[in-house]
């Protein structure tokens, strides 16, 4: 039951955000940068990733793409 409530809350939040978002972007053009690698720390959500578990210096290699 608890999982059902969490799933329902996530779906509701997702639909709410997608319904509200994007309205301010009409007519704007964005340029995306080329993908480049960055070293990130292993704090938070990514602490259990394979890279963090295998890497002793507590960093992982990530791909970053910026929107201008």
Q: How many CA atoms lie less than 13 Å away from 32 in the CB half-sphere?
A: 5
* Continuous segment of H or E residues that includes residue 4: helix 2-20
Regarding predicted confidence, which is higher, 5 or 44?
5
**Is residue 40 one of the residues assigned to a domain?**
yes
- pLDDT in the model for residue 11: 83
**Whether pLDDT at 48 is above 80:** no
**Is residue 61 one of the residues assigned to a domain?**
yes
* Tally of domains within the chain: 1
Across the range 35-58, mean pLDDT stands at 78
Q: Residue 39 in 3-state DSSP?
A: strand
Torsion sign (Cα): 18, 23, 24, 25: positive
Residue 51 and residue 33 in contact, taking contact as beta carbons nearer than 8 Å: no
**Is residue 25 one of the residues assigned to a domain?**
no
Q: 64 is in which domain, residue-wise?
A: 33-68
């Amino acid at each position: 039951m608890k999982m059902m409530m969490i799933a329902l809350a996530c779906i509701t939040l997702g639909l709410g955000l997608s319904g509200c978002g994007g309205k301010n972007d009409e007519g704007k053009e964005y340029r995306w940068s080329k993908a480049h690698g960055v070293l990130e720390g292993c704090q938070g959500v990514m602490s259990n990733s394979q890279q963090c578990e295998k890497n002793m210096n507590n960093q992982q290699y990530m791909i970053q793409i910026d929107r201008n």
